[in-house]
Structure formats: structure tokens, C-alpha cells
Chain A
Amino acid sequence: MSAFKNLKTRNKLLATFALLALVFTVALLLAYRNLQEMQQSQQRLVDEQFGLLLHLKDMRVDTNALRATLVTSALEQRMPETQRAGLRERLKDQTESVDFLVRQSAGDSRVAGLAETYKQVWAEFAAAATDEILPLLATGQYRQAREVILGPQSDRVERLRELGDQIVAVENAHIEQLMTQNKQRVESQRNGMVVVFCVVLVLMVLLAWVMARLIAGPLENLTRWAHQIADGEVSSQRPSEARRDEVGLLSEAFFDMSRYLSDLARNAERIAEGDLREDPEPKSERDALGNAFYRMVTNLRATLQDIQEGSMVLGAASQEILASTSQVVSSAQETATSISEITTTVEEVKQTASVASDKARHVNESAERTKQVSKEGQAAIASSMDGMRQIREQMHAVAGSIVKLSEQSQAIGEVVATVNDLAEQSNLLGVNASIEAMRSGEYGKGFSAVAQEVKSLSVQSKQATAQVRAILNDIQNALNKAVMLAEQSSKAVDNGYQQAEASAQAILTLKESIEESSGAAVHIAASSQQQLVGMDQVATAMENIKQASQENVEGTQQAEQAARNLHDLGKRLKGRVSQFQLGTASELDPLSEGRMMTSPPVGDLSKKV
């Protein structure tokens, strides 16, 4: 089988076709031979059996015709010479035919005896015809001839007819037998052909299956493999079966292609993992993918180096930008806060200015009124000066009275003290009198009542003096207060008078000041109105500035966010680039080495960042 496998497919196909052709040829030859046998058998049948029968039939017809001619001649009683010669000729032919029959049937024992008999009878018939009848006829003895003809000669004919019938019956039986034999043979031939064709069919199917198995199966596998490769599934597994035919070679080729592709895939994988240290070697100058990979790796390495440097620069720059924008953001926020505060302050100032304007207007009006009032005040202070003068005089009078009253109350106090002393003494007197009365017993009882009354009076007078003294005390306290008040009032009135004079002067001065300030108030009102308008403008401007600073803050925040994003991007980029290993680049690319030399070392930059 392996030998067959190792055959080239062309040879395999040729061998298969040759085998099939051989089998077909053998089958056809077999069939042809059978057909020929059949044909020969049929021919033999026709030639031998049917020829004999026809011959026999011809002979019987000729015999009958001869007899008929003889009979006719005998009956017509004329027999020309030419007719007789023809008869003799015909008899002679008939005899040859009988001989032929005998010869023909010599091989067949059943017919041979009958044919022999038929020949003898015919020989008798011919002899009779030639030797008896014809001379009779020739001599004109027609009646005798007729007798001979209708006599023995007719028996002989009858005999011949019977023999012929027997021969026909035997031959028919023989033919029947041969036909049956032929039929059986055809049957067996047909069965043999069917068997042969079945065998051939099975063989063909078997061969087709084997061929399909040997060629189409591996091709299907290879097709599947090719589909897998087309789908990107590359496996460098060597096919298990080693064959040297086209399928085997195709498998080998597929294996080589797969290995090539998986090498490429491995290279691509390595590149994807960032290992750019090795260059993929192209297999030849025509290796499009290999060359492309090589160029790709070199370009990628150069690009990555550029990106690396760029990402360093970007990282540093974005860091600085981030720091700056952070500062800017904080500054902008501080500015915004300050501006907001300023805006608030300006708003407050504006409010204040508005209030001040109102106040100024109010002050202006007040100043007008004050001017009026100060005029009235001037008049009033003149009259109040008069009043003050009167008050001073009256106050002096009141103070004099109070002083006199104080002196008199002191005199009253002395009198009351005397009365109190008297009452005390009379009380003791009463007590002593009552003691004496008690000691006097019954006789002193009346005196005791008197003494009691005296004592009671003294007590009452003492109480009265106590009341008087209390009242006097109050009076004296009041007077003391009054004196003090009078003194103070007197001084106060004096001071008041002087102050009134001073205030008159002051009011006069005030009036002048008020007139001045009224003028000033008008100016202030006008100025504060202008100030208010100015403050309004300032407030609007501040509001605009505030909004702008707010937007500024938002902008800087966005800028900061952008810087942060940029920074992140730089970091990410750096991280991505650092995943690539570019170790052998400098050895491979002198240009990049030069660039690397000029750019600062990676570590330093990253530290700086």
C-alpha cells in the first residue's frame, strides 16, 4: 500500500485506469467469445438441420414434379425426346441430391438409416422410371407405362413420402433439442456476464474509493489546513504521514509555508511584546513578508526612539506646563476670589455711595432747614438770654429764702430739744411719783393715778416732740438738700447764663458755619451724585471683570485639565515606549546611535520628571 502511495498521482491514475481497462477487456472478450459460440451454434443449427430439411423438401417437390411429368406424359400419350432427356437429367440431379442427403445425414445415426432406405427406394424409383417407363413411353406404350406409373411407381413415391416425413420428424426433434441447448447456453452466458459485470462494478467502486481515500482525503486535510491558515490559525505541526507523491510534497510545502508563517507570527508576537532587539532575517530578496518585517522593525525602532525622545520632552514639558497651569489656576482662583471680594466691596461702596448721595441730598435739605432754624435760633437765643437773666435773679431770691428757712429750722430744733428734755424729766418725775405713791400704799393710790397721768402726758409730749423732731429732721434734711440745690442751682444758673451767652455767640458762629456748610452740602450732593454714577460704572466694570476672571478660572482649569491630560498622555506614552526593548538598535543603526548620543540618558530625564 505504501508503495502505491508513493507512486505519482498520474501513475496511480494510469494504473487504476489500466486495471479497469484490463478488466473491461477481459469481460468483453469473455462476452465476445460466448457470442461467437452462440453464433456458431446457431449457424450450425441453421446450416445442418434446416439445410437438410430444405433439401429434403426440395427433393420431395422434385420427386412429385417428376412423377407429375411422367403421369402427364402418360396421360397425354406423348413424350418428346427433349422431354425425356430432361427427365433423365432431372432424375440424375435428384439422385445426386439423394446422395447429398445421405452424406449430410451420415453423422446422425438416427437419420442415416432412414436416408439409406430413402436412397434405396429412390434408386428403385429412378431405375423404374429410367428403365421401364421411359422406354415404354418412347415406344408409345402408354398404357403400360401408365400402369407402371400408377402401380409400383406410386407405391414407391408413397414410400418416399413416408420416409421423408420420418426424416422431417427426426430432424425436427433434433432441432428442438438443439434449440433447447442453445437456450440454456444463452442463459448461462447471460448469468456469467452479469457476474462479470458485477465483479467489474465492485472493482471500480473499490478503486474509486481507494483513489478518493488516497488523494482526496489528504487533499481535504490540506484544504482544511489552508483554510485554517487563511483564518490565521498557524500551526507548525509536521504532517504525520510521510509520502513522496504530490500530496506528500504538497503537505511538505504546506508545512514549510506554515512554519514560515508561524516564524513570522513569532516575530510579530515578539515585536508586539516590544522586543525589537533582533531583526527578522528575510529568507531571500524575494521574501516580501520577511523584507517587509525587517523594514517594519527598523522603521518601528527608529520611530520608537523618536517617540521615546519625544515622550521624554513631552513629559518634561507637560510637567512644567502642568506646574505652570496649576500656579496659573491657583493665581486665577485667588484673583477671582479677590475680584469677587472687590466686586462685593465695590457693590458695598456703591451702596454706601448711594446712601451717601441720599444722605448728601438729605444733608443739603437739612442744611437749608438748619439755615432757617439757625436764623430762628438766633432770635430764640436772644429771648432766652433775657429769660436766663430773669431766672438768675429769681434763683438768687429763692436761695436767700432757703438760707433764712434753714436758720429758722435750726432754731426750731433747739426749741424741740428743750421740749424733749422737759418731757423726759416730767416722765421720770411721773415714774418717781408713782413709785412714791406705791410705797405709800392705799393712801397713795389717788396720787398714783395722778402720777400715772403725768407720766402719760410726759410720754405723749415726748412722742409729740419725737414726731416734731422727726418732721424737723425731714425738714432739715430737705432744707439741707434745698440749700445745696439752691447753691448748685444758683451756680448752675450763673453757669447757664454764661453758657447761654457763650451759646448765643456759638449760635451766631454756628449760623455762619451752617451757611458755609449749606454751600458745601450743595457741592457734596452734586459730587456724591457724580460719585454714585461713577461707582455704578465701576460696579458694572467690576462685574464684567469678575465674570471674565470666572471664565478665566474656568479656562485655566480646563487648561490645567488639558495639561494634566497631556502629562498623563506623556507618562502613558513613556510607559508604552519603555515596554519596547531597543537594545540592538544602536548596533544596527549608526544614525540612531548618533541621535541617542545627543539626547540625554533616559534615567536622568525620568528623574527630572
Chain B
Amino acid sequence: MSNERSEWDWDAVKHALRRALENEAVGGEPSAESAQQELRRRARELARPWSLEDNAETLSLLPFEIEGACYALEPDYVLEAFAAEALTPIPCTPGHVAGLIVLRGRMLPVLDLHVVLGMASQTGEGRRKVIVLSDGRMEFGLQCDRVLGTYELPLAQLQTENRGHSPYIKGITTDQWAVLDAGALLGDVSLVVDRTV
């Protein structure tokens, strides 16, 4: 212990602490150098030309993640995304129904996409994001781990072949995103639970 301590450069430690105190005194603002660097980086990013928009037809997609697997939805059927506070499980429902959630005074069923797609699912615990889908008649939420935002995908990058046997998947992107058919999901009556207990 004594050796470790003796190896420490006490002067360096003192200097670092003094600088931190000085920063604090300025008001939490980053230093001029770091601010300059950050600003330059952002400028370069913005200056990048948006070439895809002009040349090719694109498909707007809303990608999200479930257990590390990436899926994407066409934003046409998406109402919104929000962070769920508490999911109420419904007893006597099939496995794909994760539970109920109250959204601004409305009751919204939430589905587990992995169960719907016939994949083994872990517990829905921790999936705090819900994407709300609606076609005007049917409305439900999809549990997910993370919403990645919107994305413009060139159509050339979407493979509609080899998309598997699932009726809910429209295609696979080159980044291995499974592009979901939101209309098919919403129109599938098999997902509707009409049961009296």
C-alpha cells in the first residue's frame, strides 16, 4: 500500500484538481478548446451532402432494437413512441400479449414482437419503450429496448427475397434490419384476442 501511494504523483493530482476547480468557477462551460473541437465536428457532419435524396428513391424507416436484433417500421402506421412507466400484465391472454398500458387516458394493449414472430422471447421486463401502431381501426403498442430514430433507406438496399416465411416481414436490409409490414400486423385478426373467461 505504502509503495503504491509513494508512486503516485501528488503534484499531478493537485494540478488536476486545481484545474477542475477553475472550470467550476467559470460556470460549467467547457473549455474554449474542447468547445471549438465539438463545434468543428458538428459542422463537418452537417456539411456532408445528402446525396441519396436526389438520386434514388428512399424508404423512410423507424428502426428499433429488441434483444440486440434490429427491426424497422414504416412510419406511416406509427403514431408515436414513448417510455412506458408501468406495464400491467393481463391474465388469461396468449403469450404475444405482453400487457396493458395507459396512454393519455387510453387503454393500449402491448404485444411482444418476438412472440408474434414465433421466436423464443425473454421476459418483457426492462423493455421500457413502446411504439404505438394504428391504422385507424386497430391500435396496439410494440415493446422494444431502444428506438433508434428515423432513417432514409435507399430502396436498392432492401431485399424482398429471402425474407423468410413470416408474413409480417417485408424485407431485409443490407444492415440485417428486418423491415416489418405494419399493415399486416395491424390487419391480422389472429392477433386479436376475443375471449371471455
Contacts and interface: CB of A to CB of B under 8 A. Distances in A.
B68 interface: no
Give the secondary structure class of B's interface: strand
Contact of B147 (A428, A437, A439, A448): A428
A437 B60 CA distance: 11
A435 B76 CA distance: 8
Given A438-B60, A438-B75, A431 B150 contact: yes
A116 interface: no
Contacts of A425: 83
B83 A435 contact: no
Nearest to A445: B53
B126 interface: no
A424 interface: yes
Interface in B29-83: 60, 62, 75-76, 78-83
B149 interface: yes
Interface in A24-44: none
Contact of A428 (B60, B78, B83, B150): B83
Contact of A438 (B82, B83, B150): B150
B180 to A, nearest CB: 15
B149 A434 contact: yes
B82 A435 contact: no
A439 B83 contact: no
Give the secondary structure class of A's interface: helix
Contacts of B78: 435
A32 to B, nearest CB: 172
A434 B150 contact: yes
Given A438-B60, A448-B150, A452-B149, A428 B75 contact: no
A119 interface: no
A431 B83 contact: no
A301 interface: no
B83 A424 contact: yes
B65 to A, nearest CB: 13
Interface string A447-488: 010011001000100000000000000000000000000000
B147 A431 contact: yes
Nearest to A457: B42
Contacts of A439: 75-76
Interface string B164-186: 00000000000000000000000
> What range describes how many residues of B lie at the interface?
10 to 19
Contacts of B62: 431, 435
Given A435-B62, A439-B75, A439-B76, A428 B149 contact: no
B103 to A, nearest CB: 12
A79 B81 CA distance: 258
Interface in A382-439: 424-425, 427-428, 430-432, 434-435, 437-439
> By CB atoms of chain A within 10 A, which of B76, B79, B129, B149 has the most?
B149
Interface string B142-159: 000001011000000000
B60 to A, nearest CB: 5
Contacts of A424: 83
B106 to A, nearest CB: 16
A445 to B, nearest CB: 9
A299 B78 CA distance: 150
Nearest to A485: B1
Interface in B17-31: none
Interface in A204-251: none
B149 A430 contact: yes
Nearest to A451: B150
A430 B82 CA distance: 11
Contacts of A455: 149
A424 B146 CA distance: 10
Contacts of B76: 438-439
Contacts of A435: 62, 75, 78-81, 150
A427 B76 CA distance: 20
B144 to A, nearest CB: 11
Interface in B79-122: 79-83
Contacts of A438: 60, 75-76, 150
A437 B62 CA distance: 12
A432 B81 contact: yes
Nearest to A432: B80
A430 B150 CA distance: 9
A556 to B, nearest CB: 71
Nearest to A438: B75
B122 to A, nearest CB: 22
Nearest to A436: B80
Nearest to B74: A438
Contacts of A448: 150
Contact of B82 (A428, A437, A451): A428
> By CB atoms of chain B within 10 A, which of A424, A428, A437, A438 has the most?
A438
A405 to B, nearest CB: 12
A448 B129 CA distance: 21
A434 B148 CA distance: 11
A575 B35 CA distance: 129
Contacts of A437: 150
Interface string B123-146: 000000100000000000000000
A274 B188 CA distance: 137
17 contacts: A424-B83, A428-B81, A428-B129, A428-B147, A430-B149, A431-B62, A431-B149, A432-B82, A435-B62, A435-B78, A435-B79, A435-B80, A438-B60, A438-B76, A439-B75, A452-B149, A455-B149
Given A428-B82, A428-B147, 9 more contacts: A431-B81, A431-B149, A434-B75, A435-B75, A435-B79, A438-B60, A438-B75, A438-B150, A439-B75
Interface of B: 60, 62, 75-76, 78-83, 129, 147, 149-150
Please name the 5 residue pairs, one residue from A and one from B, whose CB atoms are nearest each other, closest first: A434-B150, A438-B75, A432-B80, A455-B149, A431-B81
